[in-house]
Amino acid sequence: MLQALLRHIAAAALAVTFSIAPALADPAMWAVHKGDITVTLFGSMHMVPPRTDWMTDKLEASLLASDKVWFETDVSGSTSLLPMVMAVMATKPAFLVRDVLTEAELERVATAVQPLNISKDTIGALPPWFASLILMQRQASMAGLTSGGPEAVLGSRAKNDAIAEDFFESNKEQIDLFAGEDRQSQTLMLHQIMDAIERKDTTVTDLLGLWLAGDVEGLWKLMVAQDDLSDPKLYDLFLKARNRKFADAVDALLKDECACKRSHLVVIGAAHLAGPDSVQSMLAAKGYAIERVQ
Residue 10 has pLDDT above 60, yes or no: no
d(CA 250, CA 287) in angstroms, rounded, equals 13
Mean pLDDT of 223-234: 71
Torsion from C-alpha of 78, 81, 84, 86, nearest 10 degrees: -150
For 131-185, how does the pLDDT look when each residue is reduced to its tens digit (9 = 90+)?
Answer: 988 888 777 777 666 666 899 999 999 999 999 999 999 888 888 888 888 888 8
> Could you tell me the pLDDT band of residue 206, with boundaries at 50, 70 and 90?
confident
What are the backbone dihedrals phi and psi of residue 96, each rounded to the nearest 5 degrees, phi first?
-115, 170
Beta strands in 59-170 (DSSP E): 68-71, 164-167
Contact 43, 211 (CB under 8 A): yes
pLDDT of residue 81: 66
- Side chain identity at residue 75, one-letter code: V
Mean pLDDT of 279-291: 97
Considering just the CA atoms, what is the radius of gyration of the chain in Å?
Answer: 19
d(CA 28, CA 19) in angstroms, rounded, equals 19
H or E element that contains 156: helix 150-160
> Could you tell me the pLDDT band of residue 228, with boundaries at 50, 70 and 90?
low
Cβ neighbours for 105, distance < 8 A, ≥ 6 positions apart: 191, 194
Contact 292, 283 (CB under 8 A): no
pLDDT of residue 14: 29
Percentage of the residues of the chain whose pLDDT score is greater than 90: 47
Crossing angle for the helix pair 171-179 and 82-91, to the nearest 10 degrees: 40
The predicted model scores a pTM of 0.82
For 99-135, how does the pLDDT look when each residue is reduced to its tens digit (9 = 90+)?
Answer: 999 999 999 999 988 888 899 999 999 999 889 888 8
Distances (CA, A) of 89 to 94, 95, 135, 172: 8, 10, 17, 12
pLDDT of residue 11: 38
- Side chain identity at residue 179, one-letter code: A
Mean pLDDT of 222-246: 81
Residue burial 54-78, b: 16+ Cβ < 10 Å; e: rest? bebebbeebbeebebbbbbbbbeee
H or E element that contains 290: strand 290-292
For 37-80, how does the pLDDT look when each residue is reduced to its tens digit (9 = 90+)?
Answer: 999 999 998 888 888 889 999 999 999 999 999 999 888 765 66
More confident residue, 45 or 247: 247
Domain coordinates of the chain in residue numbers? Answer: 3-15+46-63+72-292
d(CA 264, CA 253) in angstroms, rounded, equals 8
- The candidate with the shortest Cα–Cα distance to 96, out of 134, 120, 127, 73, is 127
Give SS3 for 201.
coil
d(CA 162, CA 182) in angstroms, rounded, equals 42
137: left (phi over 0), alpha (psi -120 to 50) or beta: alpha
Residue 1 has pLDDT above 70, yes or no: no
Residue burial 239-270, b: 16+ Cβ < 10 Å; e: rest? bbebbebbbebbbebbeeeeeeebbbbbbbbb
For strand 37-44 and strand 29-34, is the pairing parallel, antiparallel, or unpaired? antiparallel
* Mean of the per-residue pLDDT values of the chain: 83
